[in-house]
């Protein structure tokens, strides 16, 4: 599976474009203390992504400098907020929410026990409603064995940075640089089973019945419309999924042939 993560809200039309470009899922953000209405996910965006046929995963924002100042108390607070904000967005219970473990304050580079307490406290809070996952970023100060044996997590996401492998299990999702597509800065991500056969449990996007495309083609044909898709939008056609149809029409017609 191919996916994207971005720090920009996705409209339905843009989500459809990503789906048509070969992406299967999107990873979006929730806050640590509050939700930023301009960039964090909400119920409308959640529906936009799912209705376009993309699966959905969530990750919590990581702080800027001076980085994470880990403690068990902070893990509990941020974990409780991640759970609350994911629930408020209408995210399905039991699906994955990632902790972003990157740029831990350098004062803790030799205090792995505190970092582990922070992560596992976050895990316990999120696990009350969702499946906790963990993104392994730069300056995490963990070893491969600590990642596997000392953390409670089972779903690991490898960042763009140079980070340790996860002993025994490995990663089920990997992040790669990409750039800008459809006007949005994104990273690309791939999913495949880790070495123990596990993959992340995303919220499933809507399965669009291909008969809807067949019906739309018939409506357009009967209306005698041969102009460009932009012209179709000016007509009062009773076509379900019209935006999705317009975006995917060329691929769909190619498959029909």
Q: pLDDT tens digit string along 49-63?
A: 999 999 999 999 999
**With pLDDT > 70 as the criterion, what percentage of the chain qualifies?**
81
pLDDT score at 20:
87
* 214 pLDDT higher than 80: no
pLDDT score at 207:
83
85 vs 224 pLDDT, higher one: 85
CATH 3.20.20.80 residue ranges of the chain are 2-191
Name the CATH superfamily, with its identifier, for domain 2-191: Glycosidases (3.20.20.80)
pLDDT tens, position by position, 81-138:
999 999 999 999 999 999 999 999 999 999 999 999 999 999 999 999 999 999 999 9
pLDDT mean over 61-76: 97
pLDDT mean over 25-50: 97
pLDDT score at 239:
46
pLDDT score at 254:
45
> What DSSP line would sit under the chain, residue for residue?
-EEEE-SS---HHHHHHHHHTT--EEEEEE-SSS--TTTS--HHHHHHHHHTT-EEEEEEPPP-TT-B---HHHHHHHHHHHHHHHHHTTPPTTSEEEEEE--B-GGGTT-HHHHHHHHHHHHHHHTTTSEEEEEE-TT----HHIIIII-----EEE-SS--PPPTTT--SEEEEEEEEETTEEEEEEEE---TTS----PBPPP---HHHHHHHHHHHHHTT--S-HHHHTTS----TTHHHHHHHHHHHHHHH-
* 231 pLDDT higher than 50: no
Query: How confident is the prediction for the chain on average, in pLDDT?
Result: 89
* 235 pLDDT higher than 80: no
* 225 pLDDT higher than 70: no
The reported pTM is 0.85
């Amino acid at each position: 599976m191919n996916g994207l993560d971005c720090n920009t809200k996705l409209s339905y039309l843009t989500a459809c474009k990503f789906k048509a470009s070969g992406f299967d899922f999107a990873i979006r953000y929730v806050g640590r203390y509050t939700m930023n209405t301009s960039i964090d996910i909400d119920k409308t965006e959640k529906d936009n992504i799912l209705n376009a046929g993309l699966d959905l995963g969530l990750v919590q924002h990581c702080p800027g400098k001076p980085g994470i100042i880990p403690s068990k108390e902070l893990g509990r607070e941020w974990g409780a907020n991640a759970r609350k904000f994911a629930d408020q967005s209408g995210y399905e219970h039991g699906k994955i929410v990632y902790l972003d473990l990157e740029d831990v304050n350098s004062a803790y580079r030799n205090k792995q026990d505190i970092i582990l307490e922070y992560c596992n406290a976050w895990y316990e809070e999120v696990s009350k409603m969702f499946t906790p996952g963990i993104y392994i970023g730069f300056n995490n100060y963990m070893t491969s064995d600590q990642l596997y044996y000392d953390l409670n997590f089972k779903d690991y996401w490898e960042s763009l940075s140079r980070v340790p492998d996860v002993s025994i299990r490995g990663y089920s999702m990997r992040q790669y640089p990409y750039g800008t597509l459809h006007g949005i800065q994104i990273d690309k991500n791939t999913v495949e089973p880790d070495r123990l056969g596990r993959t992340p449990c995303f919220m499933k996007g809507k399965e669009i019945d291909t008969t809807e495309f067949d019906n739309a083609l018939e409506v357009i044909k009967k209306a005698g419309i041969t102009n460009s898709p932009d012209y179709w939008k000016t007509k009062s056609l009773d076509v379900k999924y019209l935006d999705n149809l317009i975006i995917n029409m060329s691929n769909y017609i190619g498959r029909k042939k």
